[in-house]
Amino acid sequence: MAIEGQYVPVGSSDGAFGEVYDRGYQHYEGSRLGRGHAVHALTTYSMRRALGSKKSWTAKVVPALMYVAAGLMVVIPLGIRAFLDDASVVEYWDYFFSIFVVLGVFVATIAPEMLCNDRSENVLTLYFSRAITRMDYLIAKLVGTALLTLTITLVPMVVYWLGRQLLEDSPLSAMKDNAGDLWRVVVMSLVTAFYLGSVALMISSFTGRKSIAVAVIIVAFLVVSIFSLTLTEVVTDQDVLPYLAILNPLRLVGEFSYGLFGQTMEDTEFGKPLSVWAYAGAMLGTVVFCCGVMYWRYVPAD
């Protein structure tokens, strides 16, 4: 058996039937990349797995349906606008309100895929035997979840923005005039993706069972929303009411979106809105809190 070097033909047939080669064992002499590469590899692999890549078709159904739903929310208004110039279309700040259920189900589906299997199947043992830290692992999972969420928030929104500009009489000048909307869409999508992603991941970090994690994430979103709405009936202090919106994921995302575009929500359950920075701070604070909890969940016992 050849041990190193080139493959060695072990039999000859004068080319009539091909050659049989003993592959031997060859040491790896190529480049070895660092932690950054490992984190990147984990991020991309986790994203592929969460979308059901190289899994049975059933694993692909829910993400695919959510993409279709999010796509329709963009394509339908653009189609109406293409045929009816005067038709009112969904505004950017209303988009997340329109797709929040889709967004919630999507995040509730992919976040458990990111963490639960690694825990329940003990793959964590193998990951941590590689040159990554526990923080690297969590960063890869958070970035992976946020990037996937961006595919259902940012990508349709950018397509929507582009479609609206192309429907104008002068698309190029429309793009130039409405460039401000584009960066707001990007910021809105990024903050929302990390906010929802980190909450869903934090909940998923408490269990190895995907079905439980999915259920708890959806129930948690519903319960805190109902809880905050109930509190608005009880609390009469107008200074306190706006802060209750922070407890309500849908309202928080909505207030942030409206604030970013200089709009104000019409209903007044939560009183006078806070500044957009307050809502952004609340969302980013939630991300930091969730990361802290996840780190505590994954920190070594000794």
Q: Of all helices (H) and strands (E), which one includes residue 10?
A: strand 8-11
Which CB, 136 or 181, lies closer to other proteins?
136
- Output the six-digit token pair for 6: 């080139």
Closest Cα partner for 77 from 90, 66, 96?
Answer: 90
Number of shown-chain residues binding other proteins (CB under 8 A): 41
Per CB under 8 A, the list member of 23, 57, 88, 262 interacting with other proteins is: 23
Which CB, 15 or 18, lies closer to other proteins?
18
Which listed range, 21-29, 90-98, 154-162, 211-219, lies at the site for other proteins (CB under 8 A)?
21-29
Which listed range, 26-34, 142-150, 186-194, 208-216, lies at the site for other proteins (CB under 8 A)?
26-34
Distance of alpha carbon 106 from its chain centroid, rounded?
A: 8
Question: What amino acid occupies position 49?
Answer: R
Which CB, 41 or 215, lies closer to other proteins?
41
Question: What amino acid occupies position 85?
Answer: D
Count of beta carbons in the 10 Å neighbourhood of residue 101: 14
Which CB, 21 or 277, lies closer to other proteins?
21
Quick note: the x/- pattern for other proteins over 91-130, rule CB under 8 A, is --------------------------xx--xxx-xxxxxx
In the complex, minimum distance from the CB of residue 52 to other proteins, in angstroms, rounded to a whole number: 9
Residues 163-192 that bind other proteins (CB under 8 A): none
In the complex, minimum distance from the CB of residue 66 to other proteins, in angstroms, rounded to a whole number: 20
Per CB under 8 A, the list member of 7, 37, 87, 264 interacting with other proteins is: 37
Contact 205, 297 (CB under 8 A): yes
- Report the alpha-carbon distance of residue 132 to residue 136 in Å, rounded: 6
In the complex, minimum distance from the CB of residue 298 to other proteins, in angstroms, rounded to a whole number: 13
Secondary structure (DSSP) of 147-173: HHHHHHHHHHHHHHHHHHHHTSSSHHH
Per CB under 8 A, the list member of 15, 18, 180, 300 interacting with other proteins is: 300
Which CB, 3 or 234, lies closer to other proteins?
3
Which listed range, 53-61, 79-87, 160-168, 280-288, lies at the site for other proteins (CB under 8 A)?
53-61
Distances (CA, A) of 268 to 45, 236, 261: 44, 12, 18
- Report the alpha-carbon distance of residue 78 to residue 164 in Å, rounded: 7
Which CB, 34 or 262, lies closer to other proteins?
34
- Output the six-digit token pair for 293: 């909890």
- Report the alpha-carbon distance of residue 277 to residue 116 in Å, rounded: 34
Which residues touch 248 (CB under 8 Å, ≥6 apart)?
224, 225, 228, 229, 270
In the complex, minimum distance from the CB of residue 124 to other proteins, in angstroms, rounded to a whole number: 8
**Residue numbers of the site for other proteins (CB under 8 A)?**
1, 3-4, 23-28, 30-35, 37-38, 41-42, 45, 49, 54-56, 59, 117-118, 121-123, 125-133, 300, 302
